[in-house]
Amino acid sequence: MHNQHREKLFSLFDDNQNGVVFIQGAETMYRYDTDYEFPFRQESNFWYLTGVNEAECSLVLDLKKEEYHLFVPERDAQYAVWHGYVKTKEQYLEEYQPDHLHYRNDILKVLNELKPETVYCIDDEQAEFVEDLNRGFNVETEALVDALTYCRVLKTDWELDQLREACRVNDLAYLEVMKSIKPGMYEYEMKAIFNKVQIENGLMQDAYNGIFASGVNASILHYVVNNSMIKDGDLFLMDSGFECNGYASDYTRTFPANGKYTDVQKGIYNSVLAGMDKVLDSIKPGVKMEDLHLLAARTMMEGLKDMGIVKGSIDDMMEENIFALFFPHGLGHFLGLDTHDVGGYPKGVDRIERPGIKFLRARRELLPGMVVTIEPGIYFVPAVLKPAIADPEKNRFLNTEKVESLLGFGGVRIEDDIIVTDNGIENMTNVPKKAEEVEILMKG
């Protein structure tokens, strides 16, 4: 399967070009100056091209011959004593199937034999490594990044299967947490339940530092302390996922700790859900992410207006960016070997300098084979809303009494993982999100 990724990359370079691609894989990382090893996770571009999730490896792709050289560390007996089994060259060849296998200390020897006119690297640090080997090499650091980004944005069938499996297990973990939560438990207990299901299903690597936020903590977009007691009447916002062979899942659900939404909670929740549903119904090839963002924002503002939290013309609210007071982040992002995957901003495309939408992580037309998250939300953040209440230009759109009463509310976010297809979408997330279905699940 990874040979398909290399073929994709080879196809983007000129035929018979006398150049090579050089990428170093990740090194083992330690905590400060100790011997405590962080769990190893391969650098995503290297993993994409090789399938190698082992430390201290490198690759060279010969663009002229379209051949793959893999460089591996030469381990000794002491490594076996402390870290485990040492693979033979034959085992590396069988597992990863490079055209040529070398030990890592032969990188310079191989490059000298290939005599490339250009060595394409992914960053300045790796370019400096090549130049330090031989100052005669001509290195280039832009073309490879652009080419890899292009390749990784459009997923192969194998990649989509890894994402589906990550989502299948994520479904199980979310359902278990939603059935287990009770007031008086702690946020970290929810994380423990979630992680247990992932690991029981063979997924060992979290895709990002998960958010397990109760009550007012849910208004913090990247809350990761996860140590508060969950109170009766709290909403619980959970945003977490694990990886399958490097490919991430990334969901969010917001549900009542006691199993029953209050009228206010349900009103705000349904405003977010309406935004989500409108967007999912609108996704098709050619649609722009920024247009979807504004569609979600408008729909959610309509919900808040129906609840009497905001007032005035929806058109005026959109024009004056009032939506960003409640929806301060982007609608979604690309998903793949990284949770915030590459390709969100093609070369030459800039961020929109407008509140809220400037944090959109993807601004481009969607195409079949792209994978995105869709994650609208409404939050009551005192640091944002108190200045707005004091600002006459913004305050005229706010029902001050209702907004102030909600400053301890927290927030609601709903997030699904979506494959863009020729005709619309495949939604890989299979966790209830209608309020009534959530309550039925939690009731057992």
Q: Tell me the catalytic residues.
A: 35, 222, 239, 250, 329, 333, 340, 375, 379, 413, 415
Q: Distance (Å, rounded) from C-alpha 6 to C-alpha 67?
A: 9
Cα–Cα distances in angstroms (integers) from residue 73 to residues 86, 102, 308, in the given order: 10, 9, 64
Beta-bridge mates of residue 121: none
Could you tell me where the DSSP H helices lie in 134-286? 143-153, 157-180, 187-200, 263-282
Cα–Cα distances in angstroms (integers) from residue 261 to residues 220, 229, 257, in the given order: 20, 19, 9
Q: Evaluate whether 242 touches 251 at the Cβ level (below 8 Å).
A: no
Residue with tokens 């997330």: 429
- DSSP states of 264-296 as a string? HHHHHHHHHHHHHHHHHHH--TT-BHHHHHHHH
The residues near 263 (Cβ < 8 Å, ≥ 6 apart) are none
Cα-atom radius of gyration of the chain, to the nearest Å? 25
CA-nearest of 75, 64, 72, 140 to 105 is 72
What is the number of residues in the chain? 444
Buried/exposed 238-268: b ≥16 CB within 10 Å, e otherwise: bbbbbbbbbbbbbbbbbbbbbbebeeebbbb
CA-nearest of 123, 106, 111 to 46 is 123
Q: Distance (Å, rounded) from C-alpha 206 to C-alpha 164?
A: 16
Beta-bridge mates of residue 102: 71
Adjacency order of strands within the sheet including 139-140? 100-103, 67-72, 58-62, 19-24, 118-120, 139-140
Residue 316 burial by CB count (10 A; 0-12/13-18/19+): exposed, middle or buried?
A: exposed
Consecutive H or E run containing 402: helix 400-405
